[in-house]
């Protein structure tokens, strides 16, 4: 199976995986990865690609942070 054609690092079919390296925790290579957005550190910028497992882990972290922020807002009122 071949990966979808890519243009400027973004899959030709949005939301579809391409075969590549996971930039998050697992560091998997030649795995299905999805576009997760841009990362900028100082003047350097790159596209962020992540596998399904790492994206799920990131989503859990974001939800937990949002839940904690919501609890703090409720306590402050």
Which one is predicted more confidently, 8 or 62? 62
Domain tally for the chain? 1
pLDDT in tens, 39-72: 999 999 998 999 999 999 999 999 999 999 888 8
Task: State yes or no: pLDDT of 7 exceeds 60.
Answer: no
Give me the residue label for tokens 């402050």: 76
75: which 2 tokens? 């306590």
Residue 4 has pLDDT above 60, yes or no: no
Note down the domain range covering 55: 20-76
Predicted TM-score (pTM) above 0.75: no
Give the pLDDT band (50/70/90) at residue 8: very low
b/e sequence 9-21, b meaning 16+ C-beta within 10 Å: eebeeeeebbebe
Whether residue 54 is contained in a domain is answered as yes
Residue 38 within any structural domain of the chain: yes
| Residue 69 falls inside a structural domain | yes
């Amino acid at each position: 199976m071949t990966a979808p054609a890519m243009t400027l690092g973004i899959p030709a079919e949005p939301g579809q995986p391409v075969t590549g390296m996971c930039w998050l925790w697992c560091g998997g290579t030649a795995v299905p990865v999805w576009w997760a957005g841009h990362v900028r550190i100082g003047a350097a910028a790159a596209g962020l690609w992540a596998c399904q497992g790492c994206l799920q882990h990131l989503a859990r972290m974001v939800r937990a942070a949002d839940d904690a922020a919501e609890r703090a807002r409720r306590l402050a009122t």
